[in-house]
């Protein structure tokens, strides 16, 4: 349904350190970089991270979050750990979420600009 998502951030240098560490364990890398703009994905850019004069204000009650597909439960763990090391805030430690589904294994992070992120693996491992 979606080809890509773009988010606005205050500083792409800070965001690059964060997203490189958080997304690498999931198999996603920075595929495009120019001044003020980063593009992340596996084979094609699916997440654009762009400097913006007025990024969307962080609002934990908005319901907005982005969920990244993870190949394994250990990659979910590594996403969470890498994000915390590079300026993210914990919003839910890695683990099973039985209320979401039998094999729903996820971790939740808030990035340096306040975006709520999730890594999810639905495979029992």
In a domain, 28, yes or no: yes
In a domain, 74, yes or no: yes
In a domain, 95, yes or no: yes
Per-residue pLDDT at 125: 67
In a domain, 58, yes or no: no
Per-residue pLDDT at 16: 98
Look up the domain containing 96 and give its range.
5-52+63-121
In a domain, 41, yes or no: yes
Per-residue pLDDT at 119: 98
Q: Burial, 123: exposed, middle or buried (Cβ in 10 Å; 0-12, 13-18, 19+)?
A: exposed
Q: Which of 5, 15, 22 is nearest to 77 (CA)?
A: 22
Please state the domain count of the chain. 1
Provide the token pair at 80: 């969470």
Which regions of the chain are under pLDDT 50?
A: none
In a domain, 99, yes or no: yes
Q: What is the CATH number of the domain that holds 79?
A: 3.10.180.10
In a domain, 57, yes or no: no
Provide the token pair at 16: 């690059």
């Amino acid at each position: 349904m979606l080809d890509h998502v773009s988010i606005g951030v205050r500083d792409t240098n800070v965001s690059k350190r964060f997203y490189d560490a958080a997304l690498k364990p999931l198999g996603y890398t920075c595929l495009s970089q120019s001044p003020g703009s980063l593009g992340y994905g596996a084979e094609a850019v699916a997440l654009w991270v762009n400097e913006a004069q007025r990024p969307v204000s962080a609002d934990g009650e908005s319901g907005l979050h982005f969920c990244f597909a993870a190949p394994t439960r250990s990659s979910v763990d590594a996403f969470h750990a890498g994000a915390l090391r590079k300026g993210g805030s914990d919003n839910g430690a890695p683990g099973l979420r039985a209320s979401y589904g039998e094999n729903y294994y996820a971790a939740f992070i808030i990035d340096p600009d306040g975006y709520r992120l999730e890594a999810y693996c639905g495979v029992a491992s």
